[in-house]
Structure 1
Amino acid sequence: MAKVADARSQALVTRACSWVAGNPATWAKLRGICYRLMLEGHVVQRDNVYTLACQNGLTVSEAAEFKRDHNLWSVLSRYMVLQRPSMLAAISFRTTPIDSVDLVGTWQRVVGPTPFAASTLAEAQAIYDGRPL
């Protein structure tokens, strides 16, 4: 049985997608920074993303959003993993109510058509683990 997302979780995901739609260059920079850090063997965690972003090329004003809003990072990190499952080497997260939201569907409605390597977090984990889908 499919999980039904609660209104608050859906609103958080929609807000994060709206942020991406309004800040595509910052989103691209953040993804690039996190990918580079992953390749260097770092773990990218919610609590240090602001500092890492500032240290790695985002201006304080660009990165300030992450310092103020941990929920934004929680959603954005999931999108990084859906786009590139190898990011699971650097990003981990616990299950939260936002995991019941149709992440890809919300992205497509708010941000627009974008290819995703995985359509769910479970699928991203299977790809990362090298398991058949």
Structure 2
Amino acid sequence: MIKKLIFVGLIALFTSGCATGLNSQQTAEYNSMEARGLAIQEKNPTTGALLGILPGGGSFYAREPAFGVLNLLFWPLSIFWDPVSGYDGSTRINYNFSKAQIDKNKHEAEKKLHRDFQDGHITEIQLARGMRDIEDKYKY
């Protein structure tokens, strides 16, 4: 009975794919964000990987509590995959957080520029230049 439970748990764990990392397009976008100084580090991927050595630590750190509990149950076997899960999950969190923050900052800058135009503080040409500058600043 216990062997069957362990086997079913392992199959469920491997087929569900723990905290997934970024796909190739997201990786390229995140690398661009980092190169342009736009990336925000909400979670440290190295910390996520190191915590993966502890029972369920990497998954809990990467905000994947269900996988954390599963990895806790399968410790010490989970040492083989939870550090990767912690690293990938932390990177995914950083990507999503950075993307949301960039979009928010861009929207606020555009809104301020339009408000300045409506109030007559800038001309239409200055508005167009400002919009182009904002687009260039927040492009990743």
**Normalised TM-score (structure 1):** 0.28
Higher relative contact order (CA 8 A, sep 6+): 1
Q: Greater CA radius of gyration, 1 or 2?
A: 2
Report the TM-score when normalising by structure 2: 0.27
